[in-house]
Amino acid sequence: MRRAIFPGSFDPLTNGHLDIIKRSSPLFDEIVIAVLNNADKHPMFSVGERCLMISEVLPSVETGNCKMIVDSFSGLTADFARDSGATAIIRGIRAVSDYEYELRMALMNRRLEPAIETVFLMAGEEYSYVSSTLMKEVFELGGRVEGLIPDLVEGKMRAKLGK
C-alpha cells in the first residue's frame, strides 16, 4: 500500500492543485489531501469549507484506482504524514522560484521524518503562475479567473464576497 499526503493551505483549491492531484494519482494507492489548519492566518475559507470544496470537486478529477481522502491537520506536516502512515509528501513545483522554499521544507521534513520522501511534481505549464493568493487578489479586484479555479470554487468565492 503506497500512501502519500498532499499538504497545503488550499485557500482556495485551484486547477493547479487539481493538476498535481491528477498527476500524482497513478503513483500511489491512496492520497490524503491534507488541509492545513493554520490559526495564525486569516483565510478566506474556513478549514471545513476548504475540505468540503475539495470533496465536492474531486469526483470530477481522473484519479483512476487511487483512493482519495480529504482531511485537515494542525502542527507539523511531517508528524501528520507519519501518523497517517504515509511514505511520501507530494508537492507541486510551478517555477524555479518555488524551488528554494520547497527544498528547505523537503530537507527539514526529511530531517524530522527520515523515512518519508518528498515527491515533487511539475505542474502543467498552463498553471505555472496560478496560486491561491493570486486567484483571491484578482477575483477580489474584479478580474477573470475562469479556467484557473474550479467553477464550484468560483461560485463559493462569489457568494463569500457578495459578488
Verify binding: residue 7, ligand PNS, rule CB under 6 A.
yes
How many residues sit in the footprint of ligand PNS (CB under 6 A)? 9
Catalytic residue, from 17, 50, 136, 156: name it: 17
Site string for ligand PNS, 107-126 (x = CB under 6 A): -xx-----------------
Spatial distance between the Cα atoms of 24 and 49, rounded to a whole number of angstroms: 24
In the block, cell 503506497 appears at: 2
Minimum distance, C-beta of residue 122 to ligand PNS, in the bound complex (Å): 16
Verify binding: residue 27, ligand PNS, rule CB under 6 A.
no
Minimum distance, C-beta of residue 162 to ligand PNS, in the bound complex (Å): 26
User: Hey, which bits of the chain come out as E strands?
Assistant: 3-8, 30-36, 67-73, 88-93, 117-122
Minimum distance, C-beta of residue 109 to ligand PNS, in the bound complex (Å): 5
Closest CB to ligand PNS among 30 and 102? 102
The grid cell for 65 is 484506482
From residue 71, alpha-carbon distances to 8, 66, 144, 159 in Å are 11, 16, 30, 24
Q: Count of CB atoms within 10 A of residue 86's CB?
A: 25
Question: Which residues here bind ligand PNS, judged by CB under 6 A?
Answer: 7-9, 36, 76-77, 105, 108-109
